[in-house]
Structure 1
Amino acid sequence: MRGGRWRRIASQMGRSIAVWAVSTVTMLVLAGILPDFQIQSPDGDTATRIAVTAAFAAGAFGLLSALVWPLLVRLLLLVPALVLGLLVFVLNGSLLLIALRINPSGRGEVAPETAVVVAAVMSAVASATGGALAVRDDDAYRRRLYRLADRRSGPGPTGPSSPGTVFLQLDGVGHDVLLAAVGKGLMPTVATWLEGSHRLTRWCTDWSSQTGASQLGILHGSNFDVPAFRWYEKDTREVMVCNRPTSAAELQRRAVERTGDGGLLTADGASRGNLFSGGADEQALVLSIATRRRGRENRSRAGYFAYFSDPANAVRTAMSFVAEVGREIGQSTRTRVRKQRPRVKRGGLYPLIRAFATVVERDVVVAAVMGDMFAGRTAVYADLVAYDEVAHHSGPHSRDAEKVLARLDRSLALIQNAAEHAPRPYRIVLLSDHGQSPGETFRSRYGLGLGELVRAGCGLPVPRKAQRTHSGAEARAAVRAALRRPVEEGGEQHRPSRRSEPIVLASGNLGLVSFPDVPHRMSKEEIDARHPALLTTLANHPGIGFLLVRSERHGGVVLGAYGAEIPLDQLDGDPGPLGAFGTGAADAVRRTHDFPHTADIMVNSAHDPADGEVLAFEEQIGSHGGLGGAQARPFLLSPVAFSPPVQEGCELVGAESVHRVLLRWLRETDGPQVPLPAREDRVA
């Protein structure tokens, strides 16, 4: 034992000396290349004197990076994440300036802007050298990654013999998209898993095919009363938005109250980069806890400190951040020059938002997952959002999105490699929360948005540009006919009282219309009495697939074009407007109808089964949130060591069903396998 300890100490000292030597050489090379960087006196010095100066400066810079940088990162937790990339370079350059100033030889001078470049290069070289040397030593490799994730607790280097489980969510990656990427050779790690160690299962989302509903159901076992990504609640007079911290915290509270259970990760779990905690003790970058006062280990942004406490990590991620911003600007410019269709605007802050999702969030979450594995945690659930963000604006099948998938596969390979060095065996489950359906936006095809169409159908004023569209003219004509006004005199419009103005919200290709002055969910009969042309205008519009409204006579009805009106309890015999949306659409619509906060009018866009396209009510050419196409077909890639997700002949439907499967797998690692009861399978 004592001999092994001394060998580890000697090995670590050897690596430190090697990194110091490489850093010294790097500084000498940079001093010879960069005109504004000098490490010798103006009169010249001997080669030995120059080398000693470089060695001291490199050593001082290394020590400052190790000692001072973590303190700076703690302060950076107060800085908005998008500003972090710029500050990394400035602070790292400042450390180099300090290192040169404290050099006892008095030599060493560098311009501030050059110091940023020198510091970045030296940090990157030192990190690469240390990593290359440490990777040859399993213990050192484990300790290095352990330090990067800042884990100071856990079962120690000899963890339990039972396997842990890592759930990695590839946000927005549909079942067919995953298979296509593997077929093109973009995801070799996933391809290796598919060859024998894992089984691929397609599952179906609920009507609300978006991260808020899916992840709440997966992590907490209930997504009841989550009708969309955003919706209006009449009892509280608030708009709920799934990615708003206060809304996420309330949705998690409701789910826990409904199930009576803390979540999937209550037993020694970790939640990383998610909207919800899953009941985990270890939480970082979790939205539902962002408004709470918590300790450093589990507050929502604690994961940033764990990653950026290593200056080399900070520099590498910051450089990748800048490169990603440039990549997005180049790609969006190319689509405009080539006049590609469909396309949406990608200017403003979007390049920074994309870079944060595809670089910063990915790097921080991957490092946190590896740290959890080296800490021996029993269950880890992490969300990687890169593909979803890019696919919204570039398209789910675009080259831009495919390149993101290739980079995500490299992250999966890194996590798989870390699993081989963890103190306990790990099983990796790869899954997605929804897919994405392509298609141009509703506005780009018809010249007006859903909100403007609703206002026109209510007889309310709309922008002049929307009035001149074919859809706007038809809506005004329908209003005049319903009000028995065959002629629009003097451009006058019917103007109902302000109390009847609706709130119109969009969640991908799902729209929600609510009348806030009515405290209950309005019925079809009440809507017709107040706005006699509205439902007809919406149902007959070519860009709308169907409507769901409450009926005083039938309880709930689906409305479609040409006067189609199908009660919910008759959809199995006559799907009517739902026929184009697949066999599971009727069950999904019936379930949402029973939610307390379902909108007065639920609007699903049209869907073309031939090409899988939908029309998003938001400015997205890859969308999800409603029914239609690949958005409702995510995947579950699980180790064959686990029991099959569902019984043969059944299809896994709904996020709550996925929760039960994942929970069963966690129990299997500690005891005999428990089969999934047939009653838990919702068949599409």
Structure 2
Amino acid sequence: MGRWRTTGRALLRVAVVWVVSTLTMMLLAGLLPDFRLTSADGAALTRVALTAAWGAGAFGLLSALVWPLVVRAFLLVPALVLGLLVFFLNGSLLLVALHLIPTGQGTANPETAVIVAAVMSAVASATSTALAVRDDDAYRHRLSRLADRRRRRRGLAAGPLPPGLVFLQLDGVGEQVLRHAVATGLMPTVATWLMGTHRLTPWRTDWSSQTGASQLGILHGTTFDVPAFRWYEKESGEVMVSNRPASAVELQRRAVERTGDGGLLTVDGASRGNLFSGGAEQVALVLTAAARRGRRNRSRAGYFAYFLDPANAVRTAGSFVAEVGRELTQSTRARLRKEQPRVPRGGLYPFIRAFATVVERDVVVAAVLGDLLAGRTAVYADLVAYDEVAHHSGPRGRDAEQVLRRLDRSLALIAGAVRHAPRPYRIVLLSDHGQSPGETFESAFGLTLKDLVRAGCGLPVPRRARRTRSGAEARYAVRVALHRPVGEGEERRPEPDSDPVVLASGNLGLISFPGIEGRLTREVIDRRHPALLATLANHPGIGFLLVRSEEHGAVVLGPGGAEVPISQLADDEGPLKGFGPGAADAVRRTDTFPHAADIMVNSRYDPATGEVHAFEEQIGSHGGLGGEQSRPFLISPLDLTAPVPDGEDLIGAEQVHHVLRRWLREGQGPQVPVGTDVLAGPENSPSPRQAEGPFPVAGGAAQDKIG
């Protein structure tokens, strides 16, 4: 009886979608002059309706049967190109469907067919989704059927499987930002976890508080010799950039060579949206896989499941356009209100933001859902949306808060899918670094760090400072998705004996002198450029410098002639006063890196306001020491062992890696977050106010889907 009821409901949904699609086609035929469902001499309404029903039915059938084959044929096409190609392929299917109408009355020119197909796909998808959400049993049955199919395809055992782990990285979200978002109701899903099933553990980054170092450490177990987001290597004359594909591949190679291990995800793992693969074979939008080519390129296969449904591309495209409009509106409002601090947000940035907050999010979340239904042992996914927006709008700005709200919905969607996976899963939520607010160095003092260095060296200073390109991950992810060459020309290869190479990584600056082997000592720098170190150390926007010394090995210089050997360096004293615990050890560790710059420069930090001065065009920055950028978080299920014993600090991405490895080995019972089923309505979800815990916030669990 239950099977007949389920079949009847499915047939009813098909009929409703068909009727809605028919009405949509009739409406479009009345609105668009180049789309007709009648002959030249017209036809009765019933004849028009019959023609529309034939066309809608044929289009739906073609989409269901032909579309998966078309997408598979275009699997080697870059993700964004495939997304655009969807509209033209959809239009072609509609033209074929019109030719299949027995009366032969359906006509449309190719341009109009693209529009009609897009609208019909969106309407059909919305109708089907609305019906499925109202029918929880049908939706659950569909997910269970997909899970069983993928389980059989992968040859998984029929009996109970040990729990898997899903690591979800919220790029750039600091511990304090997360606590604020939970307390104010921006992230109800996370709030529900923290009140019943998960614990929150803050951790500290190295001096280089950025994704390149942190994610390399988390996925591959080492952050050694990654002094910044970008740095100059004298022996090769190359500038390494963490999110440049060639550099990322080399960093991963070095990490594997140093640790002797392939990475966190080598055993049945999947890597989604990351800089590094972690040793996973299944990858999507992963930077180190960007150079792969060929029919078996798994980085292309990662988004096949998402574009398998043409409605996904239509929905994502609509959200993409809406996000571009949202950014234009928000940036215009900030400019009219003369908000400060503020950085330029024109050019390609609205499209880069839309890619990070819509396209990458949708593809990565869809890939994770596929991994869950396939029963993979470990999945690590990076959602970069907040980091990209916070760089330009500020870490606590309204724009960034809206992104956090939408990310919480994605977390709810993933948590809901866990219930239908062929194995139990534990969800671990973490970040790689935070962000510190503040006016840019150039805006505050009228010159760039490069200008200041040139002035200290007695070199001419250009009238207008050259802008430094943002280090946001999404900027390179866009170019990777387009298969555009990356890295040639952003930082030119310096010539030997040329001017100093000045690079910026948030509020961390690196100064190197090409053509001189090894790290220059303070004494050599003083002989070559007597005013440079004093100019830098005494500038009001500079916090401290790290430089080698022939006498002390290495020293930290600060304002007023302060000079402290790193062996005597202490937290919250001397040049490091106000930078917080762990600063001295972070500086000492970086000094051991072979590719530390001749002069390492950290901007000033104001403990009262938490502000730093980025050497890039970012009002929310990370990369150095100072404030929330060095304090990410780790949220883990209570049935996993505590990351560190009570009273101890979790320090560095390498230690986080070892914690995650330990959890992969633990075979405790399943953990499904409470109150995060995306099928349940808000009225059926427990309110966080009804639970006991340290995070009393308003609102229930997120019940939204991606859109």
Q: Distance in 2 between matches of 1:464 and 1:322?
A: 38
Q: Distance in 1 between matches of 2:377 and 2:183?
A: 33
Aligned to 2:502: 504
Aligned to 1:50: 48
Q: Distance in 2 between matches of 1:668 and 1:248?
A: 30
SS for the counterpart of 1:550 is strand
| Larger deviation, residues 334-343 vs 82-91 | 82-91
How do residues 19-98 of structure 1 correspond to structure 2 at under 5 angstroms? 19-73=17-71, 81=79, 86-98=84-96
Deviation at 1:466?
A: 6.7
Alpha-carbon displacement from aligned partner over 1:547-603 (angstroms, at most 9, x marks no partner): 001111111110111111100000138831111211210000000000111111101
SS for the counterpart of 1:416 is helix
Contact 1:270 1:377 in 2 (8 A): yes
Alpha-carbon displacement from aligned partner over 1:474-494 (angstroms, at most 9, x marks no partner): xxxxxxxxxxxxxxxxxxxxx
Q: 1:221 to 1:465 in 2, by over 3 A?
A: closer
Deviation at 1:267?
A: 1.6
Contact 1:156 1:375 in 2 (8 A): no
Aligned AA for 1:620? Answer: Q
Contact 1:159 1:424 in 2 (8 A): no
Correspondence for 2:652 among 629, 654, 658: 654
Deviation at 1:447?
A: 1.1
Aligned AA for 2:165? Answer: T
Q: CA RMSD in A?
A: 2.7
State whether structure 2 residue 105 is matched by structure 1 residue 104: no
Contact 1:219 1:276 in 2 (8 A): yes
Q: Distance in 2 between matches of 1:86 and 1:8?
A: 36
Aligned to 2:636: 638
SS for the counterpart of 1:283 is strand
| Larger deviation, residues 246-255 vs 56-65 | 56-65
Deviation at 1:293?
A: 3.7
Aligned to 2:292: 292
State whether structure 2 residue 277 is matched by structure 1 residue 280: no
Deviation at 1:50?
A: 2.4
Aligned to 1:170: 170
Aligned to 1:368: 367
How do residues 179-198 of structure 1 correspond to structure 2 at under 5 angstroms? 179-198=179-198
Deviation at 1:322?
A: 0.7
SS for the counterpart of 1:136 is helix
Alpha-carbon displacement from aligned partner over 1:82-102 (angstroms, at most 9, x marks no partner): 555544434423332332233
Alpha-carbon displacement from aligned partner over 1:352-400 (angstroms, at most 9, x marks no partner): 1110000000000000000000001111000000000000001101100
Alpha-carbon displacement from aligned partner over 1:38-68 (angstroms, at most 9, x marks no partner): 2122333344432332122112212332344
Contact 2:147 2:374 in 1 (8 A): yes
Deviation at 1:21?
A: 3.6
SS for the counterpart of 2:302 is helix
Q: 1:82 to 1:281 in 2, by over 3 A?
A: closer
Alpha-carbon displacement from aligned partner over 1:605-659 (angstroms, at most 9, x marks no partner): 0000001000000000000000001000111111111111110110101000111
Deviation at 1:15?
A: 4.5
How do residues 205-284 of structure 1 correspond to structure 2 at under 5 angstroms? 205-284=205-284
Q: Distance in 2 between matches of 1:383 and 1:26?
A: 38
Aligned AA for 1:338? Answer: R
Aligned to 1:449: 448
Contact 2:189 2:408 in 1 (8 A): yes
Aligned AA for 2:389? Answer: V
SS for the counterpart of 1:556 is strand
Aligned to 2:585: 587
State whether structure 2 residue 142 is matched by structure 1 residue 141: yes
Aligned to 1:128: 126
Q: Distance in 1 between matches of 2:122 and 2:151?
A: 23
Residue segments in structure 1 that go unaligned for 5+ positions in a row: 468-496, 673-684
SS for the counterpart of 2:340 is coil
Alpha-carbon displacement from aligned partner over 1:412-449 (angstroms, at most 9, x marks no partner): 11001111111111111110000000001111111111
Correspondence for 2:603 among 602, 605, 612: 605
How do residues 305-384 of structure 1 correspond to structure 2 at under 5 angstroms? 305-384=304-383
Contact 2:26 2:49 in 1 (8 A): yes
Q: Distance in 2 between matches of 1:290 and 1:418?
A: 29
Contact 2:303 2:367 in 1 (8 A): no
Provide TM-score, normalisation by structure 2: 0.85
Aligned AA for 1:614? Answer: V
Q: 1:37 to 1:370 in 2, by over 3 A?
A: same
Aligned AA for 2:497? Answer: R
SS for the counterpart of 1:641 is coil
Q: Distance in 2 between matches of 1:502 and 1:196?
A: 54
State whether structure 2 residue 421 is matched by structure 1 residue 434: no
Q: 1:181 to 1:374 in 2, by over 3 A?
A: same
Contact 1:458 1:531 in 2 (8 A): yes
Alpha-carbon displacement from aligned partner over 1:522-559 (angstroms, at most 9, x marks no partner): 11111111111111111111101000011111111101
Aligned AA for 1:365? Answer: V
SS for the counterpart of 2:461 is coil
Q: Distance in 2 between matches of 1:229 and 1:97?
A: 50
SS for the counterpart of 2:154 is coil
Deviation at 1:313?
A: 0.3
SS for the counterpart of 1:381 is strand
Deviation at 1:140?
A: 4.0
SS for the counterpart of 2:549 is coil
Aligned AA for 2:608? Answer: A
Q: Distance in 1 between matches of 2:300 and 2:604?
A: 40
State whether structure 2 residue 458 is matched by structure 1 residue 463: no
Q: Distance in 1 between matches of 2:631 and 2:76?
A: 39
Alpha-carbon displacement from aligned partner over 1:478-515 (angstroms, at most 9, x marks no partner): xxxxxxxxxxxxxxxxxxx9825111110000000111
Contact 1:169 1:430 in 2 (8 A): yes
How do residues 567-582 of structure 1 correspond to structure 2 at under 5 angstroms? 567-572=565-570, 575-582=573-580
Contact 1:155 1:375 in 2 (8 A): no
Q: Distance in 2 between matches of 1:48 and 1:660?
A: 69
Alpha-carbon displacement from aligned partner over 1:226-282 (angstroms, at most 9, x marks no partner): 000110111221111111111111111111111111111112111111011111121
Deviation at 1:309?
A: 2.1
Q: Distance in 2 between matches of 1:612 and 1:206?
A: 18
Q: Distance in 2 between matches of 1:4 and 1:249?
A: 53
Aligned to 1:399: 398
Q: 1:573 to 1:426 in 2, by over 3 A?
A: closer
Q: 1:580 to 1:251 in 2, by over 3 A?
A: same
Aligned to 1:621: 619
SS for the counterpart of 1:288 is helix
The number of equivalent residue pairs is 639
Aligned AA for 2:203? Answer: W
Q: 1:157 to 1:342 in 2, by over 3 A?
A: farther
Q: Distance in 1 between matches of 2:643 and 2:424?
A: 21
Contact 1:150 1:307 in 2 (8 A): no
Residue segments in structure 2 that go unaligned for 5+ positions in a row: 467-494, 671-707
Q: Distance in 1 between matches of 2:510 and 2:606?
A: 21
